[in-house]
Amino acid sequence: MSNGIERWDRAAALLRATESDGEQTTIARVWVDDSGVVQIDNEQFADLWRKKGIVGRADHGRLYPKDGQAFVDELPYMYKGSHLRAQPIPLLELLAMEMVSK
């Protein structure tokens, strides 16, 4: 693997919205594929992040999907509100969820 991070070591993120009834809905899944490219399954957020990036922790500056795993790792610091929250999960757990939903 080119970036030196094994698949089982990588984190993915679920972007979840809390509805008015308290129910949580996953609105985006974000992960780094085996070639080191960030994958985002919600085109609206993908476009937003490619154009504007995110700022989670000030000492990390603005990050974009092109920044790879650092971008994914920063999502929980950017989206930590009561309505919209990024939940880090292991990549293998995300992949297992995908297999179950098919």
pTM of structure: 0.82
| Amino acid 4: pLDDT | 47
Instruction: State mean pLDDT over 78-102.
Output: 81
Exposure string over 17-39, b if 16+ CB within 10 A, otherwise e: eeeeeeeeeeebbbbbeeeeebe
| CB burial of residue 53 (10 Å; 0-12, 13-18, 19+) | middle
Q: What pLDDT, on a 0 to 100 scale, did the predictor assign at position 47?
A: 98
Average pLDDT over residues 1-12: 57
Q: Over the stretch 71-87, which tens digit does the pLDDT of each residue have?
A: 999 999 999 998 999 99
Q: Tell whether the model's pLDDT for residue 5 goes beyond 70.
A: no
Cα gap 89→10, rounded to integer Å: 9
User: By C-alpha distance, which of 8, 69, 6 is closest to 39?
Assistant: 69
